[in-house]
Amino acid sequence: MPLQTYILVVRNTADAKIQIGSLGALLFKRGYYAYVGSAKRNLEARIRRHLRKEKKLHWHIDYLLSASSVSVETVLLLDAPECTVARLLSEHFPCVERFGASDCRCNSHLFFAERPSFENALRSSNLIFKHLEC
């Protein structure tokens, strides 16, 4: 079964210091974040879990999404490896160091933009994606 990659486009409506598991308390500026993740199976269940506010905090993204100022704006699905997508976004956007990348060699899987311009970067790199209806 192929690995399925997704991007959660997340909006943070206020500057906020948020405790992110073992990474500690990090400052998240107001703006937009793109979190790159993947699932070997049950992609829909993984995304539904991300969209719930009430859940056991396990992954870095769980901590971020539990903050009151944070919400998922859209979900993009891609047919490209997770780390390939993360590396591509790192060429265009600043990252939150080590976020979501504890099991790979990437610097991060979370990227920041003042405006939601992640789709433009994907298009300019010829990555094909589609929106998931939530």
Overall pTM > 0.85: yes
Residues in the chain predicted with pLDDT less than 70, given as ranges, are 1-3, 134
Residue among 70, 68, 60 at smallest CA distance from 101: 60
DSSP helix/strand/coil, 102: coil
What's the structural domain count of the chain?
Answer: 1
* Number of alpha helices (DSSP H) and beta strands (DSSP E) in the chain: 4, 7
The predicted pLDDT at position 123 comes to 92
Residue with tokens 């939150």, as numbered in its chain: 96
Query: Which residue range forms the structural domain that includes residue 67?
Result: 4-131
The predicted pLDDT at position 116 comes to 86
The predicted pLDDT at position 21 comes to 93
The predicted pLDDT at position 134 comes to 64
